[in-house]
């Protein structure tokens, strides 16, 4: 079945460092891909998405490109801030799943130090 | 406008008891999803509704779990004969329409602890 694998955390960075969180997926066809973020004490929020190959999703300085050839959707940010500290989840919605249910990775905790 | 709300925020119960968890979706959202999140894991799909009907309940772990959405708005997740392994955060999400391109908006979750 469809699945998502993320790099394990926690990831600890200094402010203004470059961030990459790896995400790879297994799915039939061309799923939609998402990054969700969970800030401390808050609910899950959609960060960005891409619905077809080679699309780039972007929001709040974060970017991720849908790579069909490597089945990847890595999250990047050029300069992280303390306020980016959160848990990040990669997710997919399969092409044959018309209802849109999400399949999540296990999450990657990011801690940014001043 | 108001987001997705869930009640209670915390529920502590004893093994074998029955519990109900409530979800109020965003007004006008036709699709409603339930997920379960164990500590240190990503959310796992349980069930989703399109309107009043359960369109996909393939994620419900067993027949102790049941969910309803009788008027196409509020939904209740019901767990019978709770077990310690049911302890988790139960998340509800809603979207305007069902489908992978529509954003799901998540509630804050209900933390269920079974003693």
**Model confidence over B44-96: pLDDT tens digits?**
999 999 999 999 999 999 999 999 999 999 999 999 999 999 999 999 999 98
Q: How far is CA A68 from CA A51, B25, B36, in A?
A: 11, 34, 29
Q: Which residue has the higher pLDDT, B1 or A43?
A: A43
B26 Cα to chain A: minimum distance (Å): 14
pLDDT tops 70 at residue A103: yes
Q: How far is A100 from chain B (nearest CA, A)?
A: 4
Sort B30 into a burial class: Cβ within 10 Å, 0-12 / 13-18 / 19+: middle
Other C-beta atoms within 10 Å of A14: how many?
Answer: 10
Contact A99 B95 (CB under 8 A): no
Q: What is the pLDDT of residues A71-89, one digit of tens each?
A: 999 999 999 999 999 999 9
Beta-carbon count within 10 A of B50 CB: 19
Q: Tell me whether residues B98 and A99 touch, CB distance under 8 A.
A: yes
Integer Cα distance of B104 and B25 in angstroms:
10
Cβ distance of A100 and B103 shorter than 8 Å: no
Work out how many CB contacts closer than 8 A connect A with B: 73
State CA A26 to chain mean position distance.
15
Contacts of A6 (CB under 8 A, 6+ apart): A21, A22, A23, A88, A89, A90, A105, A106, A107, A108
Q: Which residues of chain B approach chain A closer than 8 Å at the C-beta?
A: 3-4, 31, 33, 35, 40-45, 48, 50, 55-56, 59, 91, 93, 95, 98-109
Separation in Å, CA of B22 to nearest CA in chain A:
16
Strands B65-68 and B75-79: antiparallel
CB contact under 8 A, B45 and A102: yes
Collect all residues of chain A within an 8 Å Cβ-Cβ radius of residue B45.
Answer: 101-103
Residue B16's pLDDT band, with cuts at 50, 70 and 90, is very high
Mean pLDDT confidence for B6-21:
97
């Amino acid at each position: 079945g469809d699945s998502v694998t993320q790099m394990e955390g926690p990831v600890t960075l200094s402010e203004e460092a470059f961030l990459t969180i790896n995400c790879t997926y297994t799915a039939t066809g061309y799923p939609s891909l998402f990054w969700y973020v969970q800030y401390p004490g808050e609910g899950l929020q959609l960060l960005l998405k891409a619905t077809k190959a080679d699309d780039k999703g972007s929001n709040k300085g974060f970017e991720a490109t849908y790579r069909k050839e490597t089945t990847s959707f890595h999250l990047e940010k050029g300069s992280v801030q303390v306020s980016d500290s959160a848990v990040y989840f990669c997710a997919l919605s399969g092409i044959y799943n018309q209802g849109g249910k999400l399949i999540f990775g296990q999450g990657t905790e990011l801690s940014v130090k001043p | 406008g108001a987001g997705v709300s869930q009640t209670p925020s915390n529920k502590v119960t004893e093994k074998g008891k029955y519990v109900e968890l409530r979800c109020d979706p965003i007004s006008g959202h036709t699709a409603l999803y339930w997920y379960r999140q164990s500590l240190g894991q990503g959310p796992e799909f349980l069930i989703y509704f399109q309107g009043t009907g359960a369109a996909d309940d393939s994620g419900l772990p067993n027949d102790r779990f049941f969910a309803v959405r009788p008027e196409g708005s509020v939904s209740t997740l019901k767990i019978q004969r709770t077990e310690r392994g049911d302890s988790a955060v139960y998340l509800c999400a809603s979207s305007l329409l069902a489908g992978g391109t529509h954003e799901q908006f998540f509630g804050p979750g209900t933390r269920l602890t079974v003693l």
